[in-house]
Amino acid sequence: MNTPMIYRRLGRSGLKVSALSFGAWVTFGNQIGDPVAKELMHTAYDAGVNFFDNAEGYAAGKAELVMGDILKKSGWTRSSYVVSSKVFFGVSKRPNETGLSRKHVIEACHAARTRLQVDYLDLYFCHRPDPETPIEETCRAMHDLVSQGHVLYWGTSEWTAAQLTEAYSVCERLGLHGPSMEQPQYNLFNRANLEVNLAPHCSARGLGTTIWSPLASGLLTGKYNDGVPADSRLNTPGLEWLRDRLTGPDVGPQIAAVKALAVIARELGTTLPCLGIAWCLKNPHVSTVILGASRASQLRENLGALDVVPLLTPAVMARIDAISKPVAN
Ligand code: NDP
């Protein structure tokens, strides 16, 4: 990586997030040991990453415990990093310990702060919409957490454009702090939600976006072109559903697209992971792309995506579109 880290505003807010950030899903407290987690966090921070993404549901709270311990011992000033949690999936499945009720939104915030060993969460997401809780109840709970200083910015993840419209109108009507960011999946094979559904909210409301699975859980690295490597995510117990999805019969055209994209990557003198991540960064509605990695060599490679962004000329983008659009959602 030669290009210094770039910082983008989180939508219309004044918060600056590194264009590349780092997340804990699957890996922390699960697929990798704690020393590797520490090496990854320090590699990221040393490269200018200032946003670390987490959730109550990652390894049933263990991912936050591991990250909290690393943050505590890091010596980094609290103002130098942004840390998130997400509420919905819960650590246990007992009644009131999942979802977006006022009770769970508030209790989960305090539990996450305790696990992460921080006084406040910079970003706090509703990890999914909750059909069993009125949006107004969730908005009021989020507003209260922001007003009390426990959360700085609240947002959503995988909410529809219509659900966001309702949240905005509730917040405007009641004078509440509204959502600042949404966390959608966005990559060469999952495009329409951000490009079609969310883009109007980004333009009109200044909604920021923190992108998840920029490499489609590794599919876009080419590592699944010829089966599943033993040491990969798809062999992690509990992720059989993801393995079925990424190795099923429907994935053939996407594997063919990955092979075609590899030709472009080679011509540009880069790698498939860097190409896929740089492509996400080209979208002006993207505030930050959250990287995932199970070893430091992957993370170091992926941070090099910043060098690739200027190589994605309109002509190259058109070739990438021609390959990815026909096989993308
Ligand atoms: P990616 O799609 O980038 O997948 C990351 C995985 O791909 C790595 O763990 C690794 O898997 C493989 N990989 C990455 N780089 C390379 C490389 N250079 N060479 C070979 N393999 C590579 O991102 P994630 O799915 O991890 O998502 C990123 C973050 O987004 C998460 O940590 C989380 O914070 C957030 N997220 C949020 C969700 C939400 O609902 N809001 C859902 C999912 C993620 P392997 O171990 O197999 O090598």
How far is 321 from 87, CA to CA, in rounded Å? 35
- Structural domain count of the chain: 1
Q: Is 209 in the pocket of ligand 1 (CB under 6 A)?
A: no
- 310 contacts: CB under 8 Å, gap ≥ 6: none
Q: Is 233 in the pocket of ligand 1 (CB under 6 A)?
A: yes
Longest dimension (CA), the chain: 54
Residue 157 Cα: closest atom of ligand 1: 41
Q: Is 23 in the pocket of ligand 1 (CB under 6 A)?
A: yes
Give catalytic residue positions. 58
- Give a yes or no: residue 196 inside a domain: yes
Q: Is 53 in the pocket of ligand 1 (CB under 6 A)?
A: yes
- Give a yes or no: residue 213 inside a domain: yes
Tokens for 123? 């970003």
- Give a yes or no: residue 230 inside a domain: no
Q: Is 221 in the pocket of ligand 1 (CB under 6 A)?
A: yes
- Give a yes or no: residue 144 inside a domain: yes
Q: Is 56 in the pocket of ligand 1 (CB under 6 A)?
A: no
- Give a yes or no: residue 252 inside a domain: no
| Residue 138: alpha-carbon gap to chain centroid | 21
Residue 213 Cα: closest atom of ligand 1: 2
- Give a yes or no: residue 115 inside a domain: yes
Angle at the Cα of 109 from the Cα atoms of 94 and 170, rounded to 5 degrees: 95
- Give a yes or no: residue 50 inside a domain: yes
- Of all protein residues, the one whose alpha carbon is nearest to atom 5 of ligand 1 is 292
Nearest CA-CA partner of 198 in 178, 216, 182, 187: 182
Burial class (CB in 10 A: 0-12, 13-18, 19+), 89: middle
Residue 53 Cα: closest atom of ligand 1: 34
Tokens for 84? 């998130």
Q: Please give the distance, rounded to the nearest whole angstrom, from the Cα atom of residue 148 to the centre of ligand 1.
A: 33
Read off the CATH number of the domain in which 290 is found.
3.20.20.100
How far is 216 from 51, CA to CA, in rounded Å? 20
Which of 20, 182, 290 most suits a substitution to test ligand 1, by most atoms within 8 Å of the C-beta? 290
pTM for the structure as a whole:
0.98
Nearest CA-CA partner of 208 in 221, 222, 194, 191: 194
- 247 contacts: CB under 8 Å, gap ≥ 6: 224, 228, 234
- Give a yes or no: residue 186 inside a domain: yes
Amino acid at 314: P
pLDDT tens for the chain, 329 residues long, are 689 999 999 999 999 999 999 999 999 999 999 999 999 999 999 999 999 999 999 999 999 999 999 999 999 999 999 999 999 999 999 999 999 999 999 999 999 999 999 999 999 999 999 999 999 999 999 999 999 999 999 999 999 999 999 999 999 999 999 999 999 999 999 999 999 999 999 999 999 999 999 999 999 999 999 999 999 999 999 999 999 999 988 899 999 999 999 999 999 999 999 999 999 999 999 999 999 999 999 999 999 999 999 999 999 999 999 999 999 99
Q: Is 301 in the pocket of ligand 1 (CB under 6 A)?
A: yes
Tokens for 186? 């966005």
Residue 271 Cα: closest atom of ligand 1: 18
The residue range of the domain holding 166 is 7-218+280-312
